[in-house]
Amino acid sequence: MVAQPFTEGQLGRHRPLPEATEDGPATPLTPLRGAHSLHATELTLDFTSGKSVRRKDVLVSGPSAADVPAHHPAEGAAAGRPEERTLRPYGLRCEHRTTPLGIDEPAPRLSWRLASDRRGDDPVAYRVRVAERPEELDGGGQLLWDTGRVADPHAAAAEYAGPALLGRTRYHWRVSVWPTGTAVPVEATSWFETAFTDAGAWRASWITHDPHPVDVVDAPTEGEFALDDHGLAPCPVLRRTFTGSPGTHARLLVSARGLYEVRLNGVRVSDAELAPGWTDYHCRIQYQTYDVSELLREGENVLAATVTDGWWSGFVGFEPRRAGAHYGSFPQFLAELHLTGPDGRSTAIVTDETWRTSTGVIRHADLLMGECHDLRHAADGWELPGFDDTDWSPALVAGADHHLLVASVDEPVRAMAELRPCSVRRISPDTHIVDFGQNLAGRVRLRIGQLAAGARVVIRHAEVLDESHQLYTANLRTAAATDVLVGDGRQDIVFEPRFTYHGFRYAEIRGVPELTESDVVAVVLHSDIPWAGEFDCSDAELRRLHECVAWGQRSNFVSVPTDCPQRDERLGWLADAQVFLPTAALNADVAAFFTKWLRDIDDARTPDGGFTNVAPRLVGVCDEGAPGWGDAGVIIPWHLYRTYDDPRFLARALEGMRAWVDLIHRHNRDLVWRRRVGPHFSDWLAPGTPTPRDVIATACFAHSARLTAKAADALGQKDVADHYHRLAGDIRRTFAEHFVTVENSAAPPAVRIAGDTQTGYLVALAFELLPADLVDAAAHRLAEIVESAGPALLTGFLGVALAAPVLDTHGRADLAHALLNRDEVPSWRFPLRHGATTIWERWDGWTPDTGFRAPSMNSFNHYALGSVGEWLYRGVAGLDQAPDSTGYRHLRIRPRPGALRHASARHESVRGTVEVTWERHGGLLALSVLVPPGSTADVYVPTTDPRSIRESGVVPRADDRHITLLATACDHVRYRVSSGAYRFTATHPPADGHADTSPADRSEPSLTPSRRTSGPAAKPSPARSHEEDTP
């Protein structure tokens, strides 16, 4: 039976996206700290601009001042702006982070970015100095390290090469840059601080509370609780008193097997959430360093901690087992507080048997199951001096092993934004469903006037609503995603879980008779990766597509790049991350985030050298890497190297890359990858005819061999590179022999790749596996089968990332636009028109005709199909780097306007800001470009009339040293430009087609229609058996 339109939301109609205004910020609910200083009142839509903007639902400020050059002009130097500024460094980083506190890298990488308002204002040399005291940088003492003046016009980083760094020491550093034609350098200064440089320096022990597992469950009597043996234990709280005084230099180094939250004298020492983060705890455990000097008081002080199961001993992944199955059985805590007085004397407070422990308000906390607070167990003031802990127990010492401890290398998870509800709907006398208008990862904060002793408030979470307009939780599988508060009669309660997170748009709140929008807020959690990109265009739905992609990234970059944030999985699937990485790295600065995750990938490797399918590794979860999944161990380091121009990504990974390729080769001497393929997910969740698995596998084999060769080339290892270049060539020839046929009877000859599927042609073309004389014919066949399908994509996770770039490369940008414009299943616009606010796992996760797909594999927040976000930047807006460029040294600006009126993109690259804006007015197209100092760009001006081209209002001159004509083609003219700002104009056909439209006035079946109808609601389809539903 065909489903009827829903009467109220399941997924929800999207919020309107009004234009930004510049009349100042709205009043934020709560300032939220982070690398890009978000202040959000409701729906966070744009993390990227360098100024605060107001939309209907949100106030967000952009990157911090350290990450944004003080000024850059909209047009070139020809405009003669009086406020022009010359070359200047900004955005200083150590180990890809701003002023990191606690690093253990012996040779840290120090990097900077450059900005200038002048054309050709490029650096010619740099100098880096490091000292223990800032005055020593000014010549007031001994420098620890000094590069001297190094002539290098492309340098944007230097690796420390001085004497060994001391542990727990702050170092100050300065970069000096000499502009072209200037004898006086420009300078900027920053600092970093080391952690322990030797694991033997640790003195603390791992401590815990006596672990007696219990489980808090509903009892037969309303309002009461009972215990069983399911293993969810009350969370330990630990405290230690000591004598201190203000003016003391204090550093706290802390970790947990589990999750921790630490307070000093009742004040949280950090805004980090879910610390210390997820790693394979058998291989490494991260610790963090905090400056707590300002929190000390005279006399008695208290260091207090709460620890919970987290990934260490909680439910992890989709298997029903938990404590001890993957890592440990109960949480443990480790800390050292180092105090240095004004007289230079040092003491340390360490975790040992002198700490006191108990259990407190948090009766259980689990990442998948949720969190329970019972206020009847509150011990008010336990985190403060003066509390009587004589009834508490001494801590149990669980060991003193420190060899796995490493300083954290990535940004922590933080509460990044807050969303107010779109609506609050009562469904029973004490139950309400709250719609936050955005699918997200995070938790709910609830204000309650009073809660009687033993009374409960229960918060359940879901991404969508079912046909009865209740929470649809079937797709959560076994994840309970339920938070509980038990009252003790007190008033004015603020309830917010602290050690769990959920993927949700909707929350059902039971146990509160009266609930208003001001009582509840959604707190958005994700790793605090600095946002680095923005995209805009004249098509409202493409803007929303970009926002869905960005929200999927935020929701799933939580310590590791997860597949989804809601169900009993949330694993670091390698293929999902590798296909999405090009998009992710344009949206944000993910260098530190992926530095950490590459360690997880390396830790997860199997004894025979293979990469796995998920990292961190879990016992028994898909160990043998599948084609496209295991290959991520090769693809990700290569893309990070190209993006950040940091060869250490390759140096650290090359051994694993070689081992992976060699492993496949050992098992497949005929060079067709059929053996040792693991679970072989193929082109995961592709609709239509499956691509032959050995086609995909062998293509991935060739691609990994080729990238391994290129990595060795980049590192100067010629013999290694030659070996893998030969192997890649052999696999390429084998691929053509086994899978490619040529029909010479056709004119021109027709090419067929085994299976004749879109993904088959995409991998062959993207990975350059075909003889040169067959490339055009293969590209033609790809276009044929895409067009004959609708045009539509019939690809899954692996193929979708390649589709638009390959079509564009082979002259069919028009077809890539057609795919973007499609609004039927499968397409990106179909979910948008049915209320999606994040990318779905499936093209058809819900349709009006069939309802929901099988809940076993049906996430509504899954970024893999959002890999098209890369082409919004590189294709639609035209912001790209040349194929042989690293770190945006040489840009390729080649917009594909399609039927749009305008588009723009901005990216904060490792060298500085890259910006592209184009717009059409009548028969003219204006293209503005900003190229950072030290870079050049090839600019493709789209026009059929080269004589119409103007730059900053004048015809480009042949003797202009900043603009060089390279080539003229039938549809563009290519110039090479030096750094600076440019504005080209040329004749161009006016926009037409159906772009620039908004779906606001359409009346379609939707998961959240705007009005109630009398027809029956759609019912979820029965569970269907799909081969791809079982990993």
Report, as residue numbers or ranges, the catalytic residues.
Answer: 569, 841
Nearest to 534 by CA among 120, 8, 20: 20
Sign of CA dihedral 680, 683, 687, 690: negative
State how far the Cα of 344 lies from the Cα of 363, in Å rounded to an integer: 43
Place of tokens 């072209």: 180
State how far the Cα of 508 lies from the Cα of 495, in Å rounded to an integer: 15
State how far the Cα of 143 lies from the Cα of 162, in Å rounded to an integer: 10
Retrieve residue 615's tokens.
């990292």
Nearest to 561 by CA among 506, 615, 510, 638: 615
The number of beta carbons lying within 10 Å of the beta carbon of residue 742 is: 15
The number of beta carbons lying within 10 Å of the beta carbon of residue 510 is: 17
The number of beta carbons lying within 10 Å of the beta carbon of residue 1013 is: 14
Instruction: 884-890: list long-range contacts, CB under 8 Å, 24+ apart.
Output: 885/642, 886/641, 886/642, 886/645, 887/156, 887/642, 887/643, 887/644, 887/645, 887/646, 887/911, 888/645, 888/914, 888/932, 888/935, 889/154, 889/645, 889/934, 889/935, 889/936, 890/935, 890/936, 890/937, 890/938
Q: Which residues contact 719 (CB under 8 A, 6 or more apart)?
A: none
Nearest to 103 by CA among 181, 194, 191, 172: 194
Place of tokens 């600095």: 530
Which DSSP state fits 224? Answer: -
State how far the Cα of 557 lies from the Cα of 593, in Å rounded to an integer: 8
Place of tokens 């080539």: 967
CB contact at 8 A, 113 and 911: yes
Place of tokens 């004249």: 538
CB contact at 8 A, 616 and 573: no
Which residues are paired to 753 by β-bridges? Answer: 740
The number of beta carbons lying within 10 Å of the beta carbon of residue 268 is: 14
Place of tokens 């999927």: 552
Specify the DSSP element, H or E, that contains 339.
strand 332-340
Place of tokens 């008081």: 297
> Phi and psi for 331 in degrees, rounded to 5?
-70, 150
State how far the Cα of 743 lies from the Cα of 726, in Å rounded to an integer: 29
Cα distances from 104 to residues 101, 195, 336, 858, in angstroms, run 10, 6, 16, 41
Nearest to 45 by CA among 14, 68, 70: 14
Q: Which residues contact 72 (CB under 8 A, 6 or more apart)?
A: 115, 117, 913, 915, 930, 981
C-alpha of 851 from chain center = 30
Cα distances from 675 to residues 633, 668, 669, 948, in angstroms, run 19, 6, 10, 58
Please give the angle made by the CA atoms of 879, 116 and 119, to the nearest 5 degrees.
75
